[in-house]
């Protein structure tokens, strides 16, 4: 939580997941969302819910090993072509879907994944309020691994699961909190134990990790203005070797 607070102080709330129909920060209040500071009532939220869940699920697939800027182009194509609808995604030919999401890369695989996930969510009635997919069932789907499953559950359904991606491993690895050899399950157990069970915190924390990884903790790290360098074992070692 100390790391979280430092990142939050440095970068401010990130307001993830970046959804096309709700570009701005979501509120904590269960009665509705805040969009651009305007409160949206729950009955309106219900109508938004289906498109929001779909868009988060689609984004979670499209962003696999892909920068978000390319995912946005693919999502924009889907919206522009009126394809951002579960029934349409299921109905159209796979190559047509693939063509629309081409900018996100791996488009043939991802088109197949979108159809499989959409079918699962539709059949299980998971676009309706209160119905939450089971993590194990999600993992059984072709194309859904642990990170994608947890992203969907955390951001679309508010389940407090820490999303562990390459950025998470890199940052906590460099800090000295995690070993690079630890499995997803082992890392998840540590983080889910150490943090308070608040899905808003989980959502914000992962977003802040991505922000920090892009700003400073890149593959080639930029440590000089990093807010975490005092507690970072990587930086301490860099100092020993460099200065």
Partner DNA sequence: TCCCAGGGGCCGA
Partner DNA sequence: TCGGCCCATGGG
- Rounded least distance, CB 163 to DNA, Å: 7
Is residue 219 a contact point for DNA (CB under 7 A)? yes
Q: Minimum distance between the CB of residue 85 and DNA, rounded to whole angstroms?
A: 21
Position 16 contacts DNA (CB under 7 A): yes
Measured from the CB atom, is 123 or 230 closer to DNA? 123
Restricting to residues 83-102, name those near DNA by CB under 7 A. 102
B/e letters for 155-193, b = 16+ CB within 10 Å, e = fewer, are bbbebbbbbbbebbbbbbbbbebbeeebeeeebbebbee
Count of residues binding DNA (CB under 7 A)?
44
Shorter beta-carbon distance to DNA: residue 183 or 192: 183
Least distance from C-beta 103 to DNA, angstroms?
A: 4
In the list 53, 151, 202, 208, the residue contacting DNA (rule: CB under 7 A) is 151
Give the residues lining the site for DNA (CB under 7 A): 16-18, 59-60, 63-70, 73, 102-103, 105-110, 141-149, 151, 155, 165-167, 181, 183, 210, 213-214, 218-220
């Amino acid at each position: 939580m100390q790391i979280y607070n430092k990142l939050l102080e440095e970068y401010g709330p990130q307001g993830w997941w970046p959804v096309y129909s709700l570009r701005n920060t979501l509120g904590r209040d269960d009665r509705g969302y805040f969009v651009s500071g305007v409160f949206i009532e729950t009955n309106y939220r219900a109508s938004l819910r289906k498109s929001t869940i779909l868009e988060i699920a689609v984004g979670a697939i499209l962003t696999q090993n892909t920068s978000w800027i390319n995912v946005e182009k693919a999502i924009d194509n889907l919206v522009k072509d009126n394809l951002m609808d579960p029934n349409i995604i299921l109905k159209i030919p796979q190559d047509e879907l693939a063509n629309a999401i081409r900018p996100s890369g791996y488009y043939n695989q991802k088109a197949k994944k979108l159809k499989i996930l959409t079918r699962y969510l539709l059949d299980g009635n998971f676009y309706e309020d209160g119905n939450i997919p089971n993590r194990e069932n999600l993992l059984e789907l072709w194309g859904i691994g642990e990170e994608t499953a947890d992203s969907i559950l955390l951001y679309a359904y508010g389940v407090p699961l820490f999303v562990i991606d390459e950025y998470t491993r890199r940052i906590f690895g460099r800090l000295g909190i995690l070993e690079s050899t630890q499995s997803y399950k082992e890392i998840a157990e540590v983080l889910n134990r150490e943090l308070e069970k608040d899905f808003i915190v989980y959502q914000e924390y992962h977003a802040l990790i991505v922000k920090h990884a892009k700003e400073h903790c890149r593959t080639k790290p930029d440590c000089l203005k990093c807010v975490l360098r005092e507690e970072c074992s990587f930086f301490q070692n860099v100092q020993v070797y460099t200065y």
